[in-house]
Chains A and B, each alone.
Chain A
Amino acid sequence: MADTIAWEKVFDRAQERAQKENLPILLFFHNPD
């Protein structure tokens, strides 16, 4: 549950930056292994 909340917050921060800087977001999903 803690992990779920963390990723939402991370995305929210990226979205805030994107709105402030008027840039699109590049979302990379990767397999860290």
Chain B
Amino acid sequence: MDAVTYPDKKVIDFVNKNYIPLQVPFDAEPLSKDFNIKWTPSLITLGTDKQEHHRSVGFLDPDAFIAVSLIGIGKYHFDNDRYPTALTYFEKIISDHPQSDNAPEAIFLRGVSQYKKTGSSVPLKKAYESLSSQYPESEWTKKAYPYRLL
């Protein structure tokens, strides 16, 4: 990632706009113990209170890096009950990174965020319908399976 992903201009611009970045060696104590680091690269989205919202382990190319970062920021807002803001990040993954591994989770969390925002169960059913048609093998399709009955 040091050779391919981190020098990429899209990645640099994205990180500078959306995060406070901190790169540390895998054995930098006490952080490596605090965050239970077992393999690199590990990317963790943290809140200002040090709460972990998302973690990715393993190589990511620039597009995958941005998709992982978008889901991390979306979950940071989702976990803090800021559903309209979280939705903007989930929508961006769905529209701009539909082939990424994070797209099914973004559809799932979009449905949940819309439900939390409006109280309507319709978005949950739509999430299942989108997932089953676009990503039938995804674990997120299985997780949304009960919503087909709503």
Write the residues of chain A forming the contact surface with B, with a CB cutoff of 8 angstroms.
Answer: 3-4, 7-8, 10-11, 14-15, 17-19, 21-32
A24–chain B nearest beta-carbon distance, Å: 5
Show 22 residue pairs from A and B whose CB-CB distance is below 8 angstroms, ordered by the A residue: A3-B28, A3-B29, A7-B28, A7-B29, A10-B24, A18-B20, A23-B19, A23-B20, A24-B19, A24-B46, A24-B53, A24-B76, A25-B21, A26-B19, A27-B22, A27-B24, A27-B31, A27-B45, A30-B23, A30-B25, A31-B25, A32-B25
Q: Given that A24-B45, A24-B46 are contacting pairs, would A29 and B20 also be in contact in the complex, using a CB cutoff of 8 Å? A: no
Closest to A22 in B: B48
How close is A9's CB to chain B, nearest CB, in angstroms? 11
Q: Is B44 among interface residues, defined by CB-CB distance under 8 A?
A: yes
- Residues of chain A lying within 8 A (CB to CB) of residue B37: 29
Q: Which of A3, A19, A23, A27 has the largest count of B CB atoms less than 10 A from its CB?
A: A27
A26-B21 in contact given A3-B28, A7-B30 (Cβ < 8 Å): yes
**Chain B contacts of A31 at CB under 8 A?**
25-26, 40-41
Rounded to whole Å, the gap between the CB of A32 and the closest CB of chain B is 5
A32 to B18, CA, bound (A): 24
Partner of A28, one of B30, B32, B41, B48: B41
Within 8 A of A (CB), among B1-41: 1-2, 15, 18-26, 28-32, 35, 37, 40-41
- Interchain CB contact under 8 A, A4 and B29: yes
Residue of A10, A24, A31, A32 contacting most chain B CB atoms (<10 Å): A24
B45 x A11 contact (CB < 8 A):
no
